[in-house]
Amino acid sequence: MKPTLVLYFCILSFTFTFGQNQKGNLADIKSKYSLIRELVDSNTLRQYHTDYTCEESLEKGMITFYYNSRELKHIIHQYTQGHVSYKDEYYIWDDQLFFEFSTHKVKYKDYEKNRKKRIEKIDVVLTLEERFYFDNFEPIKCQFKDFETRSNRTKNPRTNYVRNQTTDCDQSGRIIEKYYILLEYQDLDIVDACELPRSIAKIVSDDIIYSSLGKN
């Protein structure tokens, strides 16, 4: 067999094995996620909750840690800044972050003509979502989606019916950094809330927000 042919089959075999391993890892992540969600939704896990305010930016937020006995399973960091609300969720198994899910909602007003051709003011909510999947702290899949709901529409998109877009994982390092920073607040009062880690998608989010508002 020619060397080039041998190399081709080696690459093909590696690609197939890698794909199979990734599918298995993603299936394992989904199973762990479903179990933790069931425990959280049934109010089974012990909670440690704290509120905070950042006076510099007039920002308010809260952090909640969820424990199964002494084992940390879930972290939620929610905060608002002006008309934007953020929710960052971290899912943990055996002290390892395996999934992170962020939701940003931007509320603003817009004007449209109604059926009578009169200008009316409507409420608009722009939603941006990110999903990061990890295996041993290495990103194996990263996704993004955005959609808009408007108060004058009878049918608006729902997140379950909006397709995720696969993106690069260049922000995964900052996700892990945020995760470790939040871990430090499990047993401490928040002294300087303005130093808490913020959304990692600010640049991407701002681009989409300003584009939707027609400011680009």
User: Taking 70 as the threshold, does the pLDDT of residue 96 lie above it?
Assistant: yes
pLDDT (tens digit per residue) in 166-177: 999 998 999 999
- Return mean pLDDT, the chain: 82
Query: Residues 49-76: what's their mean pLDDT?
Result: 86
Task: Tell me the average pLDDT across 90-105.
Answer: 96
Q: Residue 18: what pLDDT?
A: 44
- Band (pLDDT 50/70/90 cuts) for residue 213 is low
Strands 59-68 and 71-81: antiparallel
> By the 8 A CB rule, do 199 and 102 touch?
yes
At 186-201, the pLDDT tens digits run 876 666 666 666 554 4
pLDDT at 63 over 60: yes
* Neighbour-count burial for 72-87, b at 16+ CB within 10 Å, e otherwise: bbbbbbbbeeeebbbb
pLDDT at site 23: 85
- Residue 159: helix, strand or coil by DSSP? helix
Q: What's the whole-number mean pLDDT along residues 90-96?
A: 96
DSSP per-residue letters across 172-188: HHHHHHHHHHHHTTSSS
Check the CA dihedral 22-24-30-32 and report its sign.
negative
Q: Quick one: pLDDT at residue 10?
A: 45
pTM for this model (two decimals)? 0.77
Rounded CA separation 46/9 (Å):
52
**31-35, 57-61, 130-134: the lowest-pLDDT one:** 57-61
